[in-house]
C-alpha cells in the first residue's frame, strides 16, 4: 500500500504525477505555467485527465539562472496553499532538494517532497518526517543540483541505483517518514548518460522486487530524445513507449507532462496485466 496525503493506492494501481513548473525557463513548456492562473488551469486539467498527484517545481532541473531558496519558496509555497484550497483531495508534491523550501511547502499543505537530487541536503528527509510527508528517494549519481553528467561511469548502474535509493529510503524511515509513504526513483538522465538510462529502464524489475514503490520520471527526457534522435517537442511517442515498458515491469508512479495520453497507456497495460477490467467489452457478445 502506498499512502500519500489523504490517498491510499494499492500495489497494482498505476498512478500519475502531473508536472506543474513554476519556472520561467522550464525545458519543456518554456514557462507556460509560471503565472498563477495558467498553472491553476493546468492543475484542473491534469486532475480531470486522471492525475492523482500534482508535482510543483520552482527551479529548472538543468543549468540556468540561479534561484535562491527564498525565490523558490516564493514560487511554490503560496501556490501549494491555493492548490490545497481548490483541490482538497489531490496529492500535492513539491520537487525540491532544499530543506528550507520543504519546510515552507509542507507548512502550506504539501503531502510529498520529491527529492530529485538524491539526498544532497540530508535535512530534507528530516522535514518530511516532521510533517508526516511522503518522500521520493532518487538516484542522481552524486551529481550536484542543476548540473549535467559528464563522462560518468558505473561498474553496474542498477547496483549503484539500488545502493543509493535503498539507503536513502531506509534512512528516511529511521528518521520517522512512514514506510508506506516512501518511493524510490532510478533518476533517468540524472547523473547518467543515455545508455545508463536505457539500462535502468530495462532492469526496472530489480527495483520493483525490493518492495518499495517505484516512481519513474521519463517524460520527454534527453535519453528518449537521443535514442530516437528527436527534439524535445517530438518525444511523446518515445516517452509513452518507455512508460508502457516501465508499467509492465512494475513501476507504480509516473511523473509526466502528457496526462491523458499516459492514462490511456497505463490503463491498457493494467488491463493486459489483469488488474483492470475493460471500460467496454461488447465484442463477440452481442
Active-site residue, selected from the candidate residues 14, 98, 221, 235? 221
Quote the longest CA-to-CA distance of the chain. Answer: 63
Give yes or no: 233 in active site. Answer: no
Single out the catalytic residue among 85, 255, 282, 283. 255
Q: Cβ(129)–Cβ(115) under 8 Å?
A: no
Task: Report d(CA 100, CA 112) in Å as an integer.
Answer: 15
Measure the CA dihedral 56/242/46/214, to 10°. Answer: -50
Q: Is 255 a catalytic residue?
A: yes
CA distances from residue 58 to 42, 50, 169 in whole angstroms, order as listed: 15, 23, 24
In this structure, which long-range contacts are made by residues 200-207, counting pairs with CB atoms below 8 Å and at least 24 apart in sequence?
A: 200/157, 200/158, 200/161, 201/242, 201/245, 201/246, 201/249, 203/158, 204/245, 204/246, 204/249, 204/250, 204/251, 205/249, 205/250, 206/158, 206/162, 207/158, 207/161, 207/162, 207/165, 207/251
Say how far apart CA 110 and CA 22 lie, in whole Å. 15
- Cβ of 6: how many Cβ atoms within 10 Å? 10
The residues carrying an active-site annotation are 221, 255
Amino acid at each position: 500500500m502506498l499512502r500519500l496525503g489523504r490517498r491510499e493506492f494499492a500495489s497494482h494501481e498505476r498512478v500519475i504525477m502531473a508536472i506543474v513548473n513554476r519556472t520561467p525557463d522550464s525545458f519543456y513548456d518554456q514557462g507556460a505555467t509560471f503565472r498563477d492562473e495558467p498553472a491553476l488551469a493546468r492543475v484542473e486539467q491534469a486532475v480531470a485527465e486522471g492525475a492523482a498527484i500534482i508535482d510543483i517545481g520552482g527551479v529548472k532541473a538543468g543549468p540556468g539562472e540561479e534561484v535562491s531558496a527564498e525565490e523558490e519558496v516564493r514560487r511554490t509555497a503560496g501556490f501549494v496553499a491555493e492548490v490545497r484550497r481548490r483541490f482538497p483531495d489531490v496529492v500535492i508534491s513539491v520537487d525540491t532538494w532544499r530543506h528550507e523550501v520543504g519546510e515552507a511547502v509542507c507548512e502550506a499543505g504539501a503531502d510529498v517532497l520529491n527529492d530529485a537530487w538524491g539526498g544532497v541536503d540530508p535535512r530534507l528527509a528530516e522535514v518530511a518526517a516532521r510533517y508526516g510527508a511522503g518522500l521520493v528517494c532518487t538516484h542522481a549519481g552524486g551529481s550536484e543540483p542543476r548540473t549535467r553528467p559528464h563522462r560518468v561511469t558505473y561498474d553496474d548502474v542498477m547496483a549503484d541505483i539500488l545502493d543509493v535509493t535503498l539507503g536513502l529510503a531506509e534512512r528516511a524511515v529511521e528518521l520517522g517518514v512512514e514506510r508506506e509513504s516512501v518511493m524510490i526513483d532510478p533518476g533517468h538522465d540524472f547523473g547518467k548518460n543515455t545508455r545508463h538510462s536505457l539500462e535502468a529502464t530495462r532492469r526496472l524489475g530489480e527495483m520493483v522486487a525490493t518492495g518499495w514503490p517505484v516512481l519513474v520520471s521519463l517524460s520527454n527526457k534527453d535519453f528518449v530524445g537521443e535514442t530516437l534522435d528527436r527534439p524535445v517537442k517530438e518525444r511523446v511517442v518515445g516517452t509513452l513507449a518507455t512508460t508502457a515498458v516501465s508499467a509492465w515491469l512494475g513501476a507504480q508512479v509516473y511523473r509526466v507532462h502528457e496526462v491523458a495520453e499516459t492514462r490511456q497507456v497505463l490503463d491498457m497495460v493494467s488491463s493486459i496485466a489483469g488488474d483492470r477490467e475493460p471500460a467496454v467489452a461488447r465484442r463477440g457478445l452481442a
